Amino acid sequence: MVRYKLMRLNRIIATVALLSFSVSFYSSAQPKDITITIHLRGVYESKISVLALTVSKTFKPIVEVPGIKDGQTTKISIPKDKLPGEFVLRFDYKENEASTPYPSEKNIFAYQQDLELWVSPKYCNNGDSTRFQPGELENATFVNFSKENGRQKEKIGLLQNFLMNYDDSESAFFIQGIKEYDQRRQAYNQWLVTRALQDSALFVSNLYRFQFIPEISLKGNETDRIHSLINHYFDGMDFKDPLLIKTAELNKWMDNYVNLYGQLSTTTALRDSLFPAAGRTAIEKARQGHPMVYGWMVDYFYRGYEANAIDAGMKILEPYLNDPNCLTSKRQEIERRLKGMETLVVGAKAPDISLKDSTASLFELNKFKTPCKYILLLFWSAGCSHCVETVDFLYPWQQQPDVKQKMEVVAISLDETDAEVAAMKLKLAKLGGWKHLHAPDGVRSKVASDYFVLATPVMVLLDAKTREIVAMPNTPDELKKVMQ
């Protein structure tokens, strides 16, 4: 679960970023998968994983390659639907054969260029021990930018800290300091604009915008400064750019925004009043931009309100959740599955399934052997009354000898809650002879996603030899007609 973390104002001011320019280069779909070639060295062996940024802005493995030995090379493919983006290369390495695996991680960027990387996992973030191929663009450019950005920002930060702690806000010296600070701030922001335009063909240029220094009133007390930052927080942000949601920085940037309200929330009642206001303001800004950014913003506040039990916040989300132009992660997944259903047609190859069965053995559809002519995939849930009715009809019919010799049943439970799982286990005891699988993540599981399941029950009849789809019956009666 996501929880807002409150930070002191000076830390927020130092890290908050406001965009005062618009550079969008995401004009076409990613043309191809890319390959990462990794040369391992300096350890006995390692499992290598690639973790991609998820909707909730955590990193989740998309590829894992175990047992790569010292001196060996492996190639890992990143699918085009994950690109461009930020990734984590994780190394679970052993220093010697008897060692316990130890993790190390390196953040990388990938877009249109295949990558080649020489890496020693023990020192994977040390430039002397890890390097990309000559001519690599995304990561080399970001390293160069970060170094220059640090130099550009250092003196502005010193001046800002001085002004925030100066005790006479009416003195000529203080007023002159504010003028100097603002001149340096604007010059720095202009440098970011120029640098972003220079690197506009690269994904990493999207991260520059988060370094912008906002306008802020340095006069007044801390509360005045917080209100000043809130009022200027979204100035110039290009919510029309869908690549915003491909960056981990967007989540951090929004955390800073929420933390400003958090510092004003001196009581729980005030928090429950201010945080909904923060959400409404941010969502209304994002609503004017790209539907995916709009949806991302609603997702962000949904997680926050749910984690912090802010009912008033959940209430303000209702009209946005019902807005068809708001492409939340859930709405995107529904649309993807509705479109995907069009590909599950008679004659199409069924996606593979890899799940543990009721005996804890690995079941793989493509390797499953049966003497029967057909395999019936039945997606069901013990918490679904219609599913139970379907199962109660199918089971005695399928157990008839003439049907049983023609059709094998693979029942895939999508039960999630403890109560549903308990009910499922009781039901399985009465369904002997079927192959039983369980997808603990339910409709969010990979198997449900692969088969575009939105609700249960779903039946898919396969040719047992070719694994091609024979029929997608909606009812047991339709299945019986196909089997005749």
pLDDT tens readout for residues 297-356: 999 999 999 888 899 999 999 999 999 999 998 888 888 888 888 888 999 999 999 999
Residue 29's pLDDT band, with cuts at 50, 70 and 90, is low
Percent of the chain with pLDDT over 90: 66
Instruction: Write down the pLDDT at residue 413.
Output: 94
pLDDT in tens, 414-433: 998 888 899 999 999 999 99
Check if the beta carbon of residue 92 is closer than 8 Å to that of residue 49.
yes
Torsion sign, CA atoms 447, 448, 452, 458: positive
What is the reported pLDDT for 443?
86
Percent of the chain whose pLDDT exceeds 70 = 93
In whole angstroms, give the CA distance from residue 56 to residue 417: 21
Distance CA 42, CA 71 (A): 8
34-136 carries CATH number 2.60.40.180: yes
Helix (H, G, I), strand (E, B) or coil at 437: strand
Q: What average pLDDT does the chain have?
A: 88
Kindly state the tokens that stand for 50.
């690639």
Helix (H/G/I), strand (E/B), else coil: 469: strand
Reduced to 3 states, what is the DSSP secondary structure of residue 370? Answer: coil
24 has a pLDDT exceeding 80: no
List for the chain the helix, strand, coil content (%; round to 5): 45, 20, 35
Whether residue 13 is predicted with pLDDT greater than 50 in this model: the reply is: no
CATH topology of domain 344-483: Glutaredoxin (3.40.30)
Residue limits of CATH 3.40.30.10 in the chain: 344-483
- Residues 6 or more apart whose CB falls under 8 angstroms from that of 224 comprise 217
pLDDT digits (tens, 9 = 90+) for 279-310: 999 999 999 999 999 999 999 999 999 888 89
In this prediction, residues 150-172 reach a mean pLDDT of: 88
Residue 309, token pair as written in the block: 């039990």
Residues of the chain with CATH 2.60.40.180: 34-136
Which pLDDT score is estimated for 237? 83
Query: Is a pLDDT exceeding 50 seen at residue 77?
Result: yes
Structure tokens of 57? 């802005």
Residue 60 confidence (pLDDT): 84
5, pLDDT greater than 60: no
H or E stretch covering 183: helix 172-198
